Copies of this chain bind each other. A is one copy, B any other.
Amino acid sequence: MTFTEIKPLLAPNKSKIVMLVMDGLGGLPLKSGGKTELETANTPNLDRLASEGCLGQTLPLDYGITPGSGPAHLSLFGYDPVAHEVGRGVLEAIGVGMYVNKGDVAARGNFCTVDESGVIVDRRAGRIPSEEAEPIVERLRAIKLPGVVIEINHVKEHRFAVVIRGEGLTPDLEETDPQKLGVAPYEVKPKNAGAKKAADLYNQWIAAAREIIKDEPKANALTLRGFATDPGLENYASRYELNAACVAVYPMYRGVAQLVGMKIIEFKGESPADEFDALASVWNDHDFFFVHIKKTDSYGEDGNFDGKVHVIESVDLALPKLVALKPDVLIVTGDHSTPALLKSHSWHPVPFLLWAPGAVRPDDRQQFGETQCAQGGLGTFHALNAMPLALGHSQRLNKFGA
């Protein structure tokens, strides 16, 4: 259930809203009777916010459904991720500064290693370091194809993004990564007749690229995934009358923020403290701030329980910088759960903390953790309600009806 008639209710004011997202925040205890990562972490500052505010837990998509990062963030931003599916290629491309407009087709690329017979022996080309991959990407910029413009940017390690711009292109293409070893990369196949032109162009581009990199020791081949075009999402200014800023280290999250019209803030460093300093530096220029912490998810994916605990503690330690700015509404949550126990994203609900002095109804929960959140005053709710909650608690919505 989500209320669709928000826009006519908007009543902008001078309030400031912060949405702090620790990626993959939700966790699991390593053994029965134990604590989750968040419950294990020593978080005096988050616990104080929890005791003054109200807790709950969100479903990014629905009960039992594990979300990807893109859909999970769209939910938090208030865009139904089922209605607005955003291709990973688009997220990757805009995350490294390339525009993807209506009609362009973007893809994520992975360098891989193939043997003499052409079959894949390493799907990530030994995760070659960025400094080795960048010059290879640079050489691929030489590829030209008739009638279209091609852009390519390096992302990180073995990953890059490609965008082809032209007429008559649609992104209904099957990925070329066989997702296993011992098989050659697939050709790009169109899923329907309309996508044939885009498939042909991408296959020509791959052929030219393979020729250029064939003698590389590790990155001697490539696969493409996540073909997609601009989903045409309404931006925050129009949808919420918010002038939004994004503070994020990792390209993909900058990408999804840019998709909804947030200004991407450039800054040095990548610690939580650096991110909060960056936020503080633009505090007067915006009224909504999305702050993204990546490493909770990275350590979760690695199965590194203690590493995830430590990242949460480093966020807590830096938190007073953020609270000192006196936001009217501060939401602390995750986009999804990434329990170290499972080494992957999971379907579990996500801890949600809402702090809004003088506007929130406190519950009696005293600590920020999964068990406390499951019994919080906000209940269990779809993450699509996060933005209406933020707008309501910042008193930016008129009442509906008389």
A residues adjacent to B (C-beta < 8 A): 1-6, 9, 26, 28-29, 32-33, 36, 52, 57, 59, 61-72, 81-82, 85-86, 88, 91, 226, 339, 341-342, 344-349, 357-359, 361-364, 370-371, 374-382, 385, 387-393, 397-402
Contacts and interface: CB of A to CB of B under 8 A. Distances in A.
Contact of A357 (B32, B88, B389): B32
A397 B63 CA distance: 12
Contact of A361 (B3, B28, B392): B28
Contacts of A362: 29, 32-33
A82 B1 CA distance: 12
Nearest to A358: B341
A35 to B, nearest CB: 10
B81 A381 contact: no
Contacts of A9: 65
Nearest to A9: B65
A390 to B, nearest CB: 7
Nearest to A348: B361
Given A357-B32, A385-B63, A399 B363 contact: no
Nearest to A374: B377
Contacts of A398: 66
Given A62-B1, A63-B389, A392-B65, A70 B402 contact: yes
6 interchain residue pairs of minimum CB distance: A64-B392, A379-B380, A64-B388, A68-B401, A3-B62, A63-B385
B374 A64 contact: no
A184 to B, nearest CB: 24
Contacts of A69: 401-402
A86 B362 CA distance: 33
A272 to B, nearest CB: 25
B65 A397 contact: yes
A67 B359 CA distance: 16
Given A63-B388, A64-B387, A72-B401, 16 more contacts: A1-B59, A3-B61, A4-B82, A32-B357, A61-B400, A62-B385, A62-B388, A64-B388, A67-B399, A68-B402, A82-B400, A86-B401, A341-B358, A363-B374, A363-B375, A364-B371
B68 A399 contact: yes
A368 B358 CA distance: 22
18 contacts: A1-B382, A32-B362, A57-B379, A64-B388, A64-B389, A64-B390, A64-B393, A66-B400, A67-B399, A68-B399, A68-B400, A81-B401, A85-B401, A341-B358, A345-B399, A349-B361, A349-B377, A361-B370
